[in-house]
Amino acid sequence: MRPALDLLAQVPPLPKGDVIDLGCGSGAMGPALANRFGTVTGIDNSPAMLTKAEQTGAYGALAEANVEDWAPETPPALIYSNALLHWLPDHAELFPKLARMLGAGGVLAVQMPVQFDAPSHALSREIAAQMFPQQYRPHPPQVSAPQVYFDLLDPLGDLSIWRSEYLQILPADAHAHPVRRFTESTALRPVLDALNADQQARFLSAYDDALHTAYPLRGDGRALLPFARLFMVLRRDD
């Protein structure tokens, strides 16, 4: 939660208007957003996630929509997006589109992982492509260099953009390298989805071996994973 809360801490005072949690997922940030801003609207494309978000009691409204198709009825005061937009393509179109949805003085606040070239992610692509070239094709990074987003958003208002590295302290695991446990539900999804059960087992064994070299275990079995994230907060011109 620390990156999400760090992003929230940099959101300036808002004008009147809706607060949108774009890609709210299970609603983990709903209480913090509601505590600061009052009524919050959550947007997500997963009915199961929206059901969990509703259970938090933090949202005044929830709506099912894909980010690419979503459009607010009125200009929001805040579009807050934590760890979502890196899954989506066409950032050159998407980011200015989101910014232009805001009302005067409205804020776009975005946080995205930028771990594409780190061993945790690069090794998964390299090993899968070597072992199963017919089943898996490496995909290009969705997140561009910070200066790309600066050029996209700076003409639209007052932009703050920064990159931070968080040191994830991962617990010991008796059956897998801790970094593999960390990436299984996120970065490894495209790889594992391309493989059958036997291929997945072979891939994970090779990936675990490589991770032991890239991220040596501590004496207690834990691992330290440096994880970089890109932040941007844009306040639209009045």
Task: Find the CATH number of the domain harbouring 206.
Answer: 3.40.50.150
Q: What is the pLDDT of residue 29?
A: 96
Q: What is the pLDDT of residue 139?
A: 78
pLDDT digits (tens, 9 = 90+) for 20-48: 999 999 999 999 999 999 999 999 999 99
210: Cα within 13 Å, side-chain hemisphere: 18
Q: What is the pLDDT of residue 63?
A: 95
Which one-letter DSSP state was computed for residue 172? P
Identify whether 114 is part of a domain: yes
Exposure of 146 by Cβ count < 10 A (0-12 exposed, 13-18 middle, 19+ buried)? middle
Identify whether 138 is part of a domain: yes
pLDDT digits (tens, 9 = 90+) for 167-190: 999 999 999 999 999 999 888 988
Which one-letter DSSP state was computed for residue 60? S
Domain tally, the chain:
1
Identify whether 11 is part of a domain: yes
Identify whether 161 is part of a domain: yes
**pLDDT of 138 above 90:** no
pLDDT digits (tens, 9 = 90+) for 115-134: 999 999 999 999 999 999 99
In the numeric block, which tokens belong to residue 105? 């003085």
- Residue % of the chain over a pLDDT of 90: 91
In angstroms, the CA 189 to CA 193 distance is 6
Helices (H), the chain: 2-9, 30-37, 47-55, 91-101, 119-131, 146-153, 178-183, 189-193, 197-214
Identify whether 228 is part of a domain: yes
Q: What is the pLDDT of residue 102?
A: 97
Question: Residues near 42 by Cβ (< 8 Å), separated by ≥ 6?
Answer: 20, 21, 24, 27, 30, 50, 53, 59, 61, 62, 63
**pLDDT of 141 above 90:** no
Coil, helix or strand for 205? helix
Coil, helix or strand for 5? helix
Q: Is the dihedral of CA 113, 119, 125, 128 positive or negative?
A: negative
pLDDT digits (tens, 9 = 90+) for 56-86: 999 999 999 999 889 999 999 999 999 999 9
Task: Supply φ then ψ for residue 91, to 5 degrees.
Answer: -65, -30
Identify whether 199 is part of a domain: yes
Question: Domain containing 161: what range?
Answer: 1-18+72-236
Identify whether 172 is part of a domain: yes
Strands 223-236 and 107-113, sheet pairing: antiparallel
Could you tell me the pTM of the whole model? 0.88
Identify whether 49 is part of a domain: no
